Amino acid sequence: MEAPPLIQTPEFVHSTLFMNGDTTFISNGSGDHVTFDEQHVRADHFSFEDLAATMRSDEQHREDCSMYPIHHPGENAIHPHVLSLPSQGLGDAMAVDMSMGLPSGGSATSPSTREDNDEIPSSQSDFSMPEESRAHRYCCTRFPETQPDEDVIAAEDYGRVRPILDKQYQQICEFWKSQQCSSCASPFISLSFLNAMVQLYFEHHDLWMSFIHPSSFSKEDASWVLILALASVGCQYSNVERSELYVLGLQDLLQKALPKDATETITLDQITLAQCLLLRNTALLFSGYEDEILTSQYQRNMLTSMAKSVSANVAESIPSPGDLDPYERWRRWVRLESQRRIVYCIYVIECCYWIFKDAPSSMTLDDFKIALPCNNILWTSDFEKWQDNIPANIEANDRPSLKTTFSNPDLLDTLLNDNSDLSNLVILLTFNVEERRLLRSTQPWFAADIATGLNERKLYKWPDELVSFRTALDDKCDPTIKRFSMLNPISNNAPTFLKVMFHVTNILRRTPLRCLYALSGWQVTVDQMTAAATSLTQWMQQNPTPARENLLQATTLYGVLYDETTGPGCHHLAFLTAGLYIWAYCIVGGEDGTARANGTRTISQRPLRPDKGVPDDVKNSWIQGTLDAPIYVRGVGILNGPESAIRVLKGFRLALSNHRSWPSLRHGLIYSISEVIDGRFASLSPELKSSGWRKNVDRETRA
């Protein structure tokens, strides 16, 4: 039976890059130039932000593609970038063109493709598989047969929080045993391994989005489910051999420990459940596996509903009595601040969905009437330091809510000076998503009817009213963006989450991510790839100033992330975004050496080094075109037009190969970029088609 659409709301329809052969063009609401019309996402489709999980079925499929003749009705109009592909790459494109109408994405005339789809379970087959069969195949949570190196585990025990107690370990072990069937025999992880994974979480992951206070582990009754959730994310940063399989095992066990829907009862308190759900959804979003990314879409509603419920409880909380014992006051404060932070961190993940998946959030400013998170020093303080740093009135009413902040812009400077990384991040992301909302609201619902069909090779042009609206919006947003650029975490070159998101949101303000993905060939036809190339070319030529400004943002971000080895999953996707923009600029919008329209230029042979910082006056001169200087990109060299394009992708691949966090996501990105480097269209790695299949293959290999 055919699977139902994943989500049928107009908001989620906007999130997909998957298109059929009858595509039209409209703006995506975050840029000045055209992009593809949205199509309904089906359970057998996979969103590209996981270019992360990108590749075709296998080499045999590529050989089958070559049987299709290299011709197309509109061949004379194909963009030079597409024509530059070798014959095999263009042959792959023809195969994609002929297969778009099939639910599986395969060709109706290719027996081997159908065989591949039988051997490698797609998300479609997983969703439609009878419950008994699926339970039989994936009934048990399993870990690698060989135990991890104890020396590696010892090196990863950073001692950031109190060690996990044997009591909590035994609770997890008993739950794992309860989920095993009699026919499955496998070892369980050790207490030392579990503890090291939790320590890794606080060493690496907690830095970019902190919502669990270390004091949570000072109590013996800390939830074993929360410990399991922390370990499942911390394992993404581990150096143990086959860490990816430990991640899959821990995530699988966590999924079984959490409620499947809002009607299922569970013993966890509200805040602990919200923390576990957020950790689980974060792991799904950045896993790289097709089926897990699809699962994350289903679980978003539960997560946002939980955030709204926690927010309502915080808003109704009673102020602490003045005569309360100081230690109890601190405990109460930690709990309230943890609640505020979980609400805003869920919102951050929702923003990541919109930024990296183009999937708008259901959360609005009206959902954020509670105080913004406190500053870093206060949050990380133990009881003694907290007493030294806490103001006389500890109630959250002293800090404005997110909604109040956006209703009263005069509060912005005070908040940005408060050294709260999470608060600053929330404000930055809100500016970006609210700008997207406004632009989306200006798009006429009849845009698709006005758009000219693909066969005529014309692109839909937005009316002048939208251009004026875009300019007016810039006048409001640009001063705030400038204010953010002066914050120390952004002006410095350390790869903080705030700095990474500052650059990636600025790149995507005018350059739709789906256009960059389409240019790489992800799930598109020759027509669609040509349309993306033409659209980007026209925009870069007609808007050289913002195009060059974006290039500086991208090269800065590329340089910052090049040497990072333990970044969160969103850093890998941000790195991809920066690399794709630089690559696109080189192949469709690079400089041609002719005089620019801005008059006199200053000639300089010394390249600009965005990775080292560029003075504002020099940066502005280069953006305006009055300074003629080349750009040096870390790991790539000096950009000099189309011949630099492949070096950008090779530099990205090399850098990511040296990173060690989020292994599945990295594998998918490396595999996909390698396809583009080899002249093929980006496609889905067979190993990342299904996490369940990946675990089964490992078992069969070891057997």
Which of 50-54, 278-282, 311-315, 536-540 bottoms out in mean pLDDT, i.e. has the lowest? 50-54
Per the structure block, which two tokens stand in for 496? 């903080």
pLDDT at 41 over 50: no
Q: State phi, psi for 644 to the nearest 5 degrees.
A: -85, -15
**249/251 Cα distance (integer angstroms):** 5
What are the φ and ψ backbone dihedral angles of 567, each rounded to 5 degrees? -75, 160
- According to the model, what pLDDT value does residue 590 have? 58
**What are 215-233's pLDDT values in tens digits?**
887 777 889 999 999 999 9
d(CA 642, CA 168): 57
**619 sits in which H/E element:** helix 616-624
Q: Between the CA of residue 410 and those of 366, 407, 480, what are the distances in Å?
A: 19, 9, 11
pLDDT exceeds cutoff 60 at 466: no
Q: pLDDT, tens digit, for every residue of 662-684?
A: 999 999 999 999 999 998 888 87
CA–CA gap between residue 560 and residue 575 (Å, rounded) = 9
Instruction: Examine the pLDDT at 377 and tell me if it is beyond 50.
Output: yes
Q: What is the pLDDT of residue 111?
A: 31
CA-to-CA dists, residue 85 to 313, 527, 579, 669, angstroms: 57, 14, 19, 20
pLDDT surpasses 50 at 119: no
Runs of H (alpha helix) within 442-568: 447-450, 464-485, 488-491, 497-508, 513-519, 526-542, 544-562
* CB of 509 closer than 8 Å to CB of 30: yes
Report the 10 Å Cβ neighbour count for 337.
20
Per-residue pLDDT at 692:
58
pLDDT of residue 350: 94
Strands 637-638 and 632-633: antiparallel
| Residues 573-592, mean pLDDT to the nearest whole number | 88
Is the pLDDT higher at 390 or at 404? 404
Q: Are 250 and 235 in contact (CB under 8 A)?
A: yes
Comparing CA positions, the residue from 171, 116, 82, 211 lying closest to residue 520 is 82
pLDDT at 282: 95
What is the structure's pLDDT at 139?
60
CA–CA separation, 300 and 157 (whole Å): 32
Helix (H) and strand (E) counts for the chain? 32, 6
Across 116-120, 396-400, 592-596, 687-691, the highest mean pLDDT is recorded for 687-691
| Cα Rg, the chain, nearest whole Å | 25
Mean pLDDT of the chain: 75
Confidence band for 694, pLDDT divided at 50, 70 and 90: low
Which is higher by pLDDT, 696 or 384? 384
Please, which residues bridge with residue 25 across strands?
A: 36
Confidence (pLDDT) at 547: 92
Of the ranges 180-189, 342-351, 433-442, 471-480, the best mean pLDDT one: 342-351
Q: How confident is the model at residue 437 (pLDDT cuts 50, 70, 90)?
A: confident
Tokens for 204?
Answer: 């690496």
- What distance in Å separates the CA atoms of residue 216 and residue 390, rounded to the nearest whole number? 19
Three-state SS for 602? Answer: strand
Residues 6+ apart with CB under 8 A from 525: 19, 21, 93, 96, 97, 100
Query: HSE-up of 128 (CA within 13 Å, CB side)?
Result: 16
**pLDDT at position 614 over 50:** yes
Burial of 376 (0-12, 13-18, 19+ CB in 10 A): middle
pTM: 0.79
First and final C-alpha spacing in the chain: 34
pLDDT digit string, tens, across residues 144-189 = 888 899 999 999 999 999 999 999 999 999 999 998 887 776 789 9
Give CA–CA dist 201/221, Å, rounded: 20
